[in-house]
Chains A and B, each alone.
Chain A
Amino acid sequence: MSMFNRAKKFDLGCFVNIKTIRDHTKRVAFAAHEAERQALRYTIRNTTLPQRTRAIAQLQLSQMHCYTRPTQIRNRCIMGGKERGVLRDFKMTRYNFRLQALAGNIPGVKKASW
């Protein structure tokens, strides 16, 4: 249970926010339990297995902690910790990306004109 409260190892290289820490915890929890989740999902979806096994697997999966779910993970901005308007290529919000790009801190990116 403690691992779901907060991840033991604190290795964040970005902007630190309570929300960012929580997201980091979710990622760690997901990584730890991914194999188990995948096995349960397979068991549920395999139609050749007996119904009872599949039902038990379904129950077990639903009882797992929500932090183990991949859908709970959200990409956040590494500069500001915001979750909205984040570009995947740069891990930054649109405005931060613009600031960094204009400063020349992002390799290869320049103002487009055509």
Chain B
Amino acid sequence: MNQPPLIRPLRSFLQGRLQFATARPAAILRPSIHVRGYASTESDGPVDATVPKAEAPKAEATPVVAEIPKVETKPVAAEKPVVSKKPAVAEKVEVKQQDKVAPENATPTDATAAPAEAPKATTAATPKNTKAAQAVVHKKQEPAVQQKAELLKPAIKRMPRALEALYLQPLRREAEFGVPTCDLQIRSYSLRNLEFFCDFALRAAYYLKLPAFGPVPLPKMTSRWTVPRSVFVHKKSQENFERITVRRLIQIRDGHPETVQIWLAFLQKHAYFGVGMKANIFEFSPLDVGKAMDESVEEVKEALDEKFKLLGQHKKVAEHLKEAEDVEEFLASQRVLAHNGPGGRLDL
């Protein structure tokens, strides 16, 4: 089933210049297809960790570099990636640079393993001994050559992992016991909003270390109304209208109640338009729960009262409503409106 992508992909990714470090390298070669695989935290793509970001705009005049987001923060999802040796490319200078860098960085054993996984096949497979020898020789390279080599290479070969994760299915945490903690039901009249928000909720749960299950599609709720088309009489010709509410359920198991509250507050803060939510939270508590809950209500009472004041109205509406109006003045103004057009003034 081809689902439309939830986010618009980066142009450099669509052009095939930016790659994934996923468990399915075949997917990378066809960037036109929306990849719905799973991000793997173990496989490591070629990352140029030593090239300073400041030199990136100088390196290439192409728009690719300009678009790559300069994200310095390390992605939260992935483990610390093993810094591997860069893949050997045809250019001589790069090979020399590589050899220079290799002994400085990770162990050579990892270096031999990593290039095998990299999508770009290594052209020259030099043995360890010659590398070491060359390293000694080329340690004192001219800085001009070194800089030139760095400029010729692309600044970033893969996206930061958190960005990468956006193009792939949301990661999930495992629940050890499977005890439900929170049932979040999300409802909307439109499906796209709902799907997007469910995705967002799952990703947020992952980053909060909450095992989230779902989104389970609950049955649609359909309301229908049949009304006559005409103002007066002609009952035989009518028109049908309907309103469909689509629902999804996201369940969190084995979650700490405070973490769940943080998650729900986060979702409320970044609520998507046209989407409604309700959550049932299950908690383990000692005896005398009622007493504890009564005490906690008093702390929250002020905040709740503020909200209850606006019951049935929007905050902006409440501010605009006038306290007392002269009835006759209002009716006089209404007479003009009624004369001009049908319907009244919706002072909402």
* Residues of A bordering B, CB below 8 Å: 6, 9-16, 21, 78-81, 87, 89, 94-98, 101, 107-113
How many A-B contacts if CB must be within 8 Å? 75
Bits for B262-292, please: 1 = Cβ < 8 Å to A, else 0: 0000000000001000000000000000000
Given contacts A6-B327, A108-B189, A108-B244, contact A97 B227 (CB under 8 A): yes
Chain A residue contacts of B229, Cβ below 8 A? 98
Contact A10–B239 (Cβ < 8 Å) = no
Say if the beta carbon of B245 comes within 8 Å of chain A: yes
Contact B327–A11 (Cβ < 8 Å) = no
Partner of B242 from A78, A95, A96, A112 at Cβ < 8 Å: A112
Contact B331–A16 (Cβ < 8 Å) = yes
Say if the beta carbon of B228 comes within 8 Å of chain A: yes
Chain A residue contacts of B331, Cβ below 8 A? 16
Chain B residue contacts of A10, Cβ below 8 A? 324-325, 327, 330
* A-B contacts, 20 listed (Cβ < 8 Å): A9-B323, A10-B324, A10-B325, A10-B327, A10-B330, A11-B322, A16-B330, A16-B331, A78-B346, A80-B342, A94-B227, A96-B343, A98-B227, A101-B241, A108-B190, A108-B243, A108-B244, A111-B240, A112-B241, A113-B240
CB distance from A79 to the nearest CB of B (A): 5
Contact B242–A110 (Cβ < 8 Å) = yes
Bound: A79/B348 CA distance, A: 12
Chain B residue contacts of A87, Cβ below 8 A? 225
Bound: A113/B242 CA distance, A: 9
Bound: A6/B328 CA distance, A: 13
Given contacts A95-B227, A112-B224, contact A14 B344 (CB under 8 A): yes
Contact A95–B324 (Cβ < 8 Å) = no
Q: Who on chain B is nearest to A113 by CB?
A: B240
Bound: A13/B224 CA distance, A: 27
Chain A residue contacts of B26, Cβ below 8 A? none
Contact B245–A108 (Cβ < 8 Å) = yes
Contact B346–A14 (Cβ < 8 Å) = yes
Chain A residue contacts of B322, Cβ below 8 A? 11
CB distance from B179 to the nearest CB of A (A): 36
Q: Who on chain A is nearest to B321 by CB?
A: A11
Chain B residue contacts of A9, Cβ below 8 A? 323-324
Contact A98–B327 (Cβ < 8 Å) = no
Q: Who on chain A is nearest to B245 by CB?
A: A108
Known: A6-B327, A110-B241. 13 other contacts (CB 8 A): A10-B325, A11-B322, A14-B344, A15-B344, A15-B345, A16-B345, A95-B227, A95-B228, A97-B227, A108-B243, A108-B244, A111-B241, A113-B240
Bound: A109/B224 CA distance, A: 9
Chain B residue contacts of A96, Cβ below 8 A? 343
Contact B239–A98 (Cβ < 8 Å) = yes
Q: Who on chain B is nearest to A15 by CB?
A: B344
Bound: A96/B243 CA distance, A: 17
Given contacts A10-B327, A16-B330, A80-B343, contact A109 B243 (CB under 8 A): yes
